[in-house]
């Protein structure tokens, strides 16, 4: 049960992070559902990334970009990013929106590490290992997830040290 509890805790934490990202980039994700006044007040990405976004310019660029994206029928953040990045003049006109979209779209890539550890669990816990204790299953999952570190460990010296400690020495008289 310990592994399942850890999984539930990790998923709950992940949901919280996704909700925070959605609130932070609500203006970028829900462009078409917000009014012009709401878009002008959408300064959440600016407060989190003040060195990347200009607080004075971002809201106005966002309002103008919504009108431009509606004309071009670009609804999703990825299609909006393609619209911006295909033409350098358009990207320069909406530079802050481009940066906000880039930040939003790159945040999801960082989730791959967590996904990888969950997929490792399904590889480790197979039909042949159904009677593993939770502690051993957790240890195997950690070893599998951190396999790059484990490749650098010198097992030969560890095995030799263990053998030296545990060997029974026979005294021949």
Helix (H/G/I), strand (E/B), else coil: 134: helix
Residue 26 reports pLDDT greater than 70: yes
Count how many domains the chain has: 1
Residue 76 reports pLDDT greater than 60: yes
Owning domain of residue 7 = 1-173
Q: Is the pTM of this model over 0.85?
A: no
What are the tens digits of pLDDT across the range 98-156? 888 888 888 765 555 566 666 777 777 776 677 777 788 778 877 777 777 777 777 78
pLDDT for the residue numbered 57: 85
- The residue-averaged pLDDT of 49-72 equals 85
- The residue-averaged pLDDT of 65-80 equals 86
């Amino acid at each position: 049960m310990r592994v399942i509890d850890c999984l539930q805790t990790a998923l709950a934490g992940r949901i919280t992070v996704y909700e925070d990202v959605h609130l932070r980039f609500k203006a970028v994700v829900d462009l078409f559902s917000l009014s012009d006044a709401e878009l002008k007040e959408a300064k959440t990405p600016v407060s989190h990334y003040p060195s990347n976004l200009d607080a004075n310019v971002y809201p106005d660029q966002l309002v103008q970009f919504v009108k431009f994206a509606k004309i071009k029928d670009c609804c999703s953040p990825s299609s909006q990013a393609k619209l911006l990045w295909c033409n350098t003049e358009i990207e320069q006109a909406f530079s802050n929106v481009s940066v906000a979209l880039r930040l939003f779209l790159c945040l999801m890539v960082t989730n791959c590490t967590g996904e990888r550890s969950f997929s490792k669990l399904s590889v480790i816990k197979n039909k042949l290992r159904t009677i593993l204790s939770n502690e051993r299953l957790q240890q195997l999952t950690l070893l599998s997830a951190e396999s790059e570190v484990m490749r650098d460990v010198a097992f030969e010296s560890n095995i030799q040290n263990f053998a030296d400690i545990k060997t029974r020495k026979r005294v021949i008289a």
